[in-house]
Amino acid sequence: MTSLAEVLARTAHRVPDRIALQFGSSTLTYAELDAQVNQLARELSDRGLQRGDRVVLQSGNSDAFVVALYAGLRLGAVVVPINPRSASSEIRHFVEDSQATLLVFSAGLVDNIRAWQESEDGGSIPALALGTAEGFDDILDCAAAQPAGPIDIDIDEADDALIIYTSGTTGKPKGALFDQHRVLWVGINSALGLSLREGERMLHVAPLYHSASLNMLIIGGMMYGATHLILPAFDPERVLETIESERATFFFGVPTMYTLMLRSPSMTTRDLSSLRVCLYGAAPMPATTAESIVAALPAATIIQACGQTEGGPGGILLQHDEVLAQPTASGRYALPNTEVRVVDPDGNDAEPGEVGEMIMRGETMMKRYWRKPEATADTIRNGWVHTGDLASIDADGYITIVDRMKDIIITGGRNVYSAEVESALAGHPAVGDIAVVGRPDDVYGERVVAIITPRNGETPTLEELCAYGLKHLSSFKLPRELIIDEIPRNASGKIVKHRIREKLDA
């Protein structure tokens, strides 16, 4: 086995003139990317970054993000990619928890970095800018004077490579630690499971710091010499225009992105025939949206991936025909080289129709939570990662995530799974977005609360919503309270339910 940076070097040797990165008007061939990575790695080394050190990388989607990522990996450092929207207190948590020795950031985030530096206990390590930012060294400009030749550092596949912080949907993020071996296998498994091809033209709009875009698609795509077309943020018109003009073959988006694309008039007027694979995941997609995607993109293969950061990500897939057959399912087969089970509290395989916890194991599972042995022991048991996702499995092997274990609503002694209710009510024509949580109730223990973001200014009443829901749900699962509000979601598209509960309790 090789290292992550060595994969890039080998691809650069194999297809040196192929475009590796395209961001705006800037392009880098694989040979140019490999050279810039070497130069930046040398500059970072001169500034004290060594093998095994942690380096926090805070950057939006850009070509510089990829260069900085591989520069750290080339030195054998542990890269800690974080949300570019992280506030100063969150930056402090990531820096202190990871015990980083250096922070590298995109120049557009300079105000946030200054706020972190000026905060109490902030700014304890050097910060270097990817671009021009007043008061900070432009690390890319400095690196341009460095030699571009290969760097002789012996990196073992057992060396730590990444700390990826969980999305924090249930509290403060925890760092999932991965070594070179694990991340390489994420790339291999993804290439196999998602049917990546040589020279794929991959359009990236989902956050690159997130494990799905980073490990599955950037790492996996580098193995196949993919051209990575990077947009700074999601805009439905820009995405559709780029697919057409750049002949993108592969696109990954969260369900909300597909919903907004489907609402665009140009979805039906643009030439999107180059799209070979449309991947979605990170959050459940309403069946009606999945069916609409298939209808709108008849030439594309539609794949759903359902996984977890702690798995690399690893998890389950729903292939095209399965999306058509069971659009409400989360997956049917595990990613290649991965095992997935749905088990009861005693660890036995759940019977068809029963709800149990989804667990998984394989080469891609995290090594451990960084500096959290108790949380690690609770999550990794006998080699299996316990996801905390409650799922049902049917006789044909279709697995459907019904809730997080911490999100079960128990009303009148009966379990209500919020994801099931959300999926059923999302099809109402006046529902733009929906979240379902429980609120304490003196009589029933908890009552079901629906938080709705209206669509096109049409606000449903609770009675209308329940009448629609009765077509799909037992009456005890219907909401007893309706709140009109924006749904808080993190960058990966997941509903942040602890924020909703905090707001309800306020």
Tokens of 465: 């919503």
Q: Domain check: are 379 and 466 in the same one?
A: no
Q: Domain check: are 395 and 472 in the same one?
A: no
Give the domain CATH number at 489. Answer: 3.30.300.30
Q: Which domain holds residue 341?
A: 201-403
Strand spans (E) along 232-383: 250-253, 277-281, 301-308, 314-318, 333-334, 338-343, 355-362, 368-369, 380-381
Mean pLDDT score, 154-162: 96
Phi and psi based region of residue 478 (left: phi greater than 0; alpha: psi -120 to 50; beta: remaining): beta
Domain edge (last residue) among 403, 424, 459: 403
Determine, yes or no, domain membership for 165. no
Determine, yes or no, domain membership for 125. yes
pLDDT at residue 171 in the model: 58
pLDDT at residue 222 in the model: 97
Q: Domain check: are 382 and 469 in the same one?
A: no
- Residue 60's CB is within 10 A of a number of other CB atoms, namely 20
Q: Which residues contact 107 (CB under 8 A, 6 or more apart)?
A: 129, 130, 131, 132, 133, 136, 138
Look at 383 and 414; give whichever has higher pLDDT.
383
pLDDT at residue 96 in the model: 94
First to last CA, the chain: 53
Q: Are 160 and 341 in contact (CB under 8 A)?
A: no
pLDDT digits (tens, 9 = 90+) for 315-352: 999 999 999 888 889 999 999 999 999 999 999 999 99
pLDDT at residue 461 in the model: 95
pLDDT higher than 90, residue 68: yes
Place 82 in a pLDDT band, splitting at 50, 70 and 90.
Answer: very high
pLDDT digits (tens, 9 = 90+) for 35-67: 999 999 999 999 999 999 999 999 999 999 999
Domain edge (last residue) among 368, 403, 438: 403
Question: What is d(CA 419, CA 283) in angstroms, rounded to the nearest whole number?
Answer: 10
How many domains does the chain divide into?
3
> Within 13 A of 122's CA, how many CA atoms are on the CB side?
16
> Within 13 A of 24's CA, how many CA atoms are on the CB side?
7
Cα 281 to chain centroid, rounded: 8
pLDDT higher than 70, residue 219: yes
Question: What is d(CA 131, CA 66) in angstroms, rounded to the nearest whole number?
Answer: 14
Q: Domain check: are 250 and 393 in the same one?
A: yes
pLDDT at residue 286 in the model: 74
Q: What mean pLDDT, rounded, does the chain reach?
A: 93
Give the domain CATH number at 385. Answer: 3.40.50.12780
Q: Domain check: are 353 and 391 in the same one?
A: yes
Cα 367 to chain centroid, rounded: 18
pLDDT at residue 443 in the model: 77
Tokens of 271: 């030439």
Determine, yes or no, domain membership for 331. yes
Determine, yes or no, domain membership for 187. no
pTM of the model: 0.87
Place 124 in a pLDDT band, splitting at 50, 70 and 90.
Answer: confident
Mean pLDDT score, 408-415: 84
pLDDT above 70 as % of the chain: 98
Place 168 in a pLDDT band, splitting at 50, 70 and 90.
Answer: low
Domain edge (last residue) among 403, 419, 438: 403
pLDDT digits (tens, 9 = 90+) for 462-478: 999 999 999 888 888 99
Mean pLDDT score, 100-106: 98
Q: Domain check: are 346 and 386 in the same one?
A: yes
Q: Domain check: are 48 and 112 in the same one?
A: yes
Q: Domain check: are 31 and 119 in the same one?
A: yes
Question: What is d(CA 347, CA 339) in angstroms, rounded to the nearest whole number?
Answer: 15
